[in-house]
A and B are shown apart, each in its own frame.
Chain A
Amino acid sequence: MTRPMRFLVRVGAMASKEVMHIRRDPRTLYMALAMPVVMLLIFGFGVSFDMDRIPLVVLDGDRSVASRALVRAVSAGHEFVIAADSDEATALRMIRRGQALAALAIPADYQRDLAAGRDGEVQLIVDGADGVVANQILAKIDGLVRAESLRRIDLAAEPPLQVKVFTLFNPEARSALFMVPGLAVYLLAIAAVLLTALTVSGEWERGSMEQLFASPVGRLEIVLGKLLPYLGLGMLQLLLVVAVGAVIFDVPIRGSVALLFFVGFLFLAGMLGQGLFISVVARSQLVATQAGALSSLLPSLLLSGMLVPIENMPRILQALSSVIPARYFVHAMRGIMLKGSGLSILWTDLVALTIFALAILALATTRFRRKLA
């Protein structure tokens, strides 16, 4: 038998053994296939940045035709609902209790001021405990009040300047469109790192590493044999997550599906390499699990741009995020799924992912010493 033949036979032996382990341990399959889907459903339905039906307290001190017109303008859409029409003390109490998120106060001389050609001033009290929520309320109220003032100036005349906003790629600003590609990255990262982190440390814990090291099987053969089945499982997982995103959350894939899976393949190789590296160093499944979860979960959640835009991060975190493969995959996934971007735009992501995968696999193989002690 030739050397390359032997290499393939040994890699095949390791890989098919790994498949047997996977098939016999339903937890692995659950972790790889069921967990991402369950999490995608929870996050997809549960995490929404779209706000509507915001409870608003109205403090109408004027009770005039003009003030009622303003209240109607604000509550006409689906953004706000009037939780109460009351006084200031009640409004503050309701905000404190979370029954309302904002209060709109209209002063007693609102209509008179407007009629006299002076500025009509209204006051908005916002619950600022959640900055994201407060910002959305401010923006929404601002828009509604602006529209109302325009209407008041002259119903017939065209406003001198008009901004028409077209939001590309996600015109309805649906969270799902923004979240699903990011989530897919996050879930793949965790599952891939955890799966491989467990498999090599398992050999140490079972004592089978001694027998492997005494046999002619090489380190690269062990690494590849461990990697291939999980790469297959990871690709299946990617397919599942993208399919659930498309069917349940109506997330489009505007770009090339082949490119999507190719980028996914590169990302998975890097994440599996990271898990391998951890388990080569850790040697115990417990340590490997913890290190694997931490090293995949936190960076891909916080530094990948999945939740927090990278442009908003402090410089040092921006620099740190540039070595996180999830960052490039999130960018590529959003590009392919939402914008229909192709290779000419995403090639930098592909290069970054390839470099990471090769570097971490090389590191794992060299750190993987053929010694028990």
Chain B
Amino acid sequence: MSTAPAATPGGTTMGIEAGAALEAQALVRCFGATRALDGLSFTVGRGQLFGLVGADGAGKTTAIRALAGLITLDAGRALVLGRDPAKGGVAVRESLGLMPQQASLYPDLSVAENLRFFARLYCLPRALFRERSARLLDITRLGPFLDRRADALSGGMYKKLALACALLHRPEVLLLDEPTNGVDPVSRRELWALLHELVHDGMTVLLSTPYMDEAERCHCVGLIHHGRLLLAGEPRALLATFEDETYEVEGGEREQVDQGLASLAEVHAASPAGATLRIAVARGSAGTVAGALAPLAASLRPVAPNFEDLFLARVRQEAA
């Protein structure tokens, strides 16, 4: 992790570095009246682990499909290793690995058969296939389930198989659409360990996730909202720019507290975290907020800011 190349700091449009692995240049794509991508721009350097974070419907899947050359764009340009994935032909596609969000394997084929099919699509020599699949089966611990049909795998095992299929040809660039969605915590940790290993070996990885806490594990994160990038940069650097103060609200009646906070302009974000309520308030306005909460028998306890606070505050700021 510490050897990771420094990410381009902040800003929605970052400078195009020479030899960037992935570039989204002002991507626009509309589905009917919805602008799924609305001028999305970002760059992922070679060997980076880039996390595209955003809520459901923010445009993550469309962005990944645009980078894989799977959709037509209304405007803008997507580049994979400097080439247009839609026109680049076989060369681009051989350097690309994709793990789609929804089921994309053949349910009636077994684990081994799915692997073999994708290996043949990439024209992998038999010996190389045996070697790589053995290693991938070992890492994903799918070895004992070789003969199990894909539709009989659990959610986590299915995702791991999909990842293994996308990794067989050793792509230079790996695109993962919500790889951890619907995966149990243990498998999730394994998946992340595997991703770090791949990046360590020089692979460029772009993944999308709705989970804010996963953002901290990336070299670089981008916050996508309504098809645009609101924030991008190295996680720690981004957090350092966060000017709000974060608190946990203790005590009080939840509904009354919510109402009381909604009327305050100083409160930039509020999110329930378990039984407590987390809020981000403008720097120096804690006193005002505490004063407003006092009659409701609630008080503030300072906590360290995290990504969720930053992102929620930024999204709310955007909406205002």
Q: Which residues of A contact B (CB under 8 A)?
A: 1, 5-6, 9-10, 12-13, 17, 20-21, 24-25, 206-208, 210-218, 370-373
Nearest B residue (CB) for A215: B121
Interface CB pairs A-B, < 8 A, 24: A5-B123, A10-B123, A17-B106, A17-B109, A17-B113, A20-B108, A21-B106, A25-B108, A206-B104, A208-B104, A210-B100, A210-B104, A211-B98, A211-B165, A213-B70, A214-B98, A216-B90, A370-B69, A370-B70, A370-B86, A372-B65, A372-B70, A373-B70, A373-B71
Report the separation of the CA atoms of residues A20 and B114 in the bound assembly, to the nearest whole angstrom.
Answer: 11
B100 touches A207 (CB 8 A): yes
Q: Are B117 and A206 in contact (CB under 8 A)?
A: no
8 A Cβ contacts from B102-139 to A:
102-109, 113, 117-118, 120-123, 125
Separation in Å of the B179 CB from the closest CB of chain A?
14
- Cα separation A21 to B151 with both chains bound (whole Å): 14
Contact, CB under 8 Å: A215 / B100: no
- Which of B102, B123, B166: most chain A Cβ within 10 A? B123
Least CB distance from A98 to B in Å reads 52
Tell whether B72 is near chain A: CB-to-CB under 8 Å: yes
CB B101 to nearest CB in A, in angstroms, measures: 9
Q: Whole-angstrom distance between the alpha carbons of A338 and B123 in the complex?
A: 49
Contact present for A206 and B106 (CB under 8 Å): yes
Query: Is B96 located at the chain interface by the 8 A CB criterion?
Result: yes
Q: State whether A214 and B96 are in contact (beta carbons under 8 Å apart), knowing that A207-B104, A208-B104, A372-B70 are contacts in the complex.
A: yes
- Number of interchain pairs (Cβ within 8 Å): 87
B121, A371: Cβ atoms under 8 Å?
no
Give the Cβ gap from A165 to chain B, nearest Cβ, in Å.
Answer: 59
A9 and B120 contact, Cβ closer than 8 Å, known pairs A216-B90, A371-B72, A373-B72 = yes
Question: CB distance B98 to A210 under 8 Å?
Answer: yes
* Nearest CB in chain A to that of B71: its residue: A373
Contact B104 A216 (CB under 8 A): no
Which residue on chain A has the smallest CB distance to residue B119? Answer: A13
With an 8 A cutoff between CB atoms, is B94 at the interface?
Answer: yes
CB-CB < 8 A to B65: which residues of A? 210, 372-373
Interface residues of B, count at CB 8 A: 33
Contact assessment for A9 and B70 in the assembled complex, using a CB-CB cutoff below 8 Å:
no
B68 at the interface (CB under 8 A from A): yes
* For the complex of A and B, 4 pairs with smallest distance between CB atoms: A13-B120, A214-B98, A211-B104, A216-B90
How many Å lie between the Cα of A214 and that of B173 in the bound state? 12
Within 8 A of A (CB), among B54-93: 65, 68-72, 86, 90, 93
Known contacts: A210-B98, A211-B105. The answer to whether A6 contacts B123 by CB under 8 A is: yes
Assuming the A-B contacts A214-B98, A216-B93, are A20 and B121 also in contact, with contact meaning beta carbons closer than 8 angstroms in the complex? Answer: no
With A20-B109, A207-B103 as contacts: A10 and B121 at CB distance below 8 Å:
yes
Question: Per a CB cutoff under 8 Å, which of A12, A21, A210, A216 touches B122?
Answer: A216
CB <8 Å contact, B68 and A214: yes
Question: In the complex, A21 Cα to B109 Cα: how many Å?
Answer: 8
Q: Find out whether the CB atom of A215 lies under 8 angstroms from the CB atom of B118.
A: yes
Q: A-facing mask of B270-308, CB < 8 A → 1, else 0? A: 000000000000000000000000000000000000000
Residue on B nearest A12 in the bound complex, by CB:
B120
4 A-B pairs besides A210-B102, A211-B105 with CB distance below 8 A are A1-B125, A10-B123, A212-B121, A215-B121
Q: Which A residue's beta carbon lies closest to that of B92?
A: A216
Residues of A within 8 A of B103 (CB): 206-207
Q: How far is the CA of A5 from the CA of B120 in the complex (A)?
A: 12
Least CB distance, A104 to chain B, in whole angstroms: 65
User: How far apart sit A213 and B121, CA to CA, in the bound complex (Å)?
Assistant: 11
Structural contact, B70 and A371, CB atoms closer than 8 A = yes
Nearest-neighbor residue (CB-CB) of B117 within chain A: A17
